[in-house]
Structure 1
Amino acid sequence: MRSYAVQLYTLRDHLAADPAATLSRLASLGYEAVEPFDLTPVDGFEVPSAHAPLLGPNRDDYLKVAGTLIVPMVRPEEFTTQEGIGRTADALNAASAWGAEHGVTVGYHNHHWELASRVGGRHALEVLADLLDPAVVLEVDVYWAAVGGADVPSLLGRLGERVQFLHVKDGPATLGEPMTAVGSGTLPIPDILAAAPRARRVVELDSCATDIFDALADSLAYLRSVEGR
Structure 2
Amino acid sequence: MALPVASVQLYSLAAEFSADPQGSLDRLAALGLRHVEAFDFVRRPDEVRAALDASGLDSPTGHAPLLSDELWTPDGSIPTPAPEVVFEAAATIGMTTVIDPFVDPARWLTEEGVADIAERLNRAADTAASFGLSVGYHNHAQEFVASFGGVTAFERFVSLTDERVAIELDLFWALTGDQDVPALVERLGSRLTAVHVKDGVVPRPNPFAPGAERLSTDVLDQRRPGQGDVPLAAALEAGRGAIRYAVIEYDRPPGDVFDDIAASLAFLTEGGFVR
Distance 1:2 1:165 in 2: 8
CA contact (8 A) 1:7 1:202 kept: yes
Q: SS state of the match for residue 222, structure 2?
A: coil
Give the drift of 1:167.
0.8
CA contact (8 A) 1:146 1:152 kept: yes
- Which stretches in structure 2 are left out of the alignment for 5+ residues? 42-47, 68-79, 208-218
Matching of residues 66-215 of structure 1 within 5 Å: 66-174=95-203, 176-197=219-240, 198-199=242-243, 200-215=245-260
Distance 2:263 2:33 in 1: 12
User: Paired residue for 1:32?
Assistant: 34
Q: Does 1:51 align with 2:63?
A: yes
Q: TM-score, normalising length from structure 1?
A: 0.94
54-63 vs 79-88, greater mean Cα deviation? 54-63
Q: SS state of the match for residue 47, structure 1?
A: strand
User: Paired residue for 2:14?
Assistant: 12
- Which stretches in structure 1 are left out of the alignment for 5+ residues? none
- Per-residue CA deviation, residues 99-148 of structure 1 (Å, 9 max, x unaligned), is 11221111111111112332332221101001001111100111100111
AA at the equivalent of 2:261: L
User: Paired residue for 2:214?
Assistant: none
Q: SS state of the match for residue 129, structure 2?
A: helix
- Per-residue CA deviation, residues 13-48 of structure 1 (Å, 9 max, x unaligned), is 001111111111111111111000122332221222
AA at the equivalent of 1:157: E
Percent same amino acid among aligned pairs?
39
CA contact (8 A) 1:8 1:36 kept: yes
Distance 2:29 2:91 in 1: 24
Distance 1:70 1:35 in 2: 10
AA at the equivalent of 2:5: S
Distance 1:196 1:71 in 2: 21
AA at the equivalent of 1:53: P
AA at the equivalent of 1:27: A
Distance 1:97 1:178 in 2: 39
CA contact (8 A) 1:116 1:123 kept: yes
Backbone CA RMSD of aligned residues? 1.5
AA at the equivalent of 1:138: I
AA at the equivalent of 1:5: S
CA contact (8 A) 2:202 2:221 kept: no
AA at the equivalent of 2:7: A
Give the drift of 1:2.
4.7
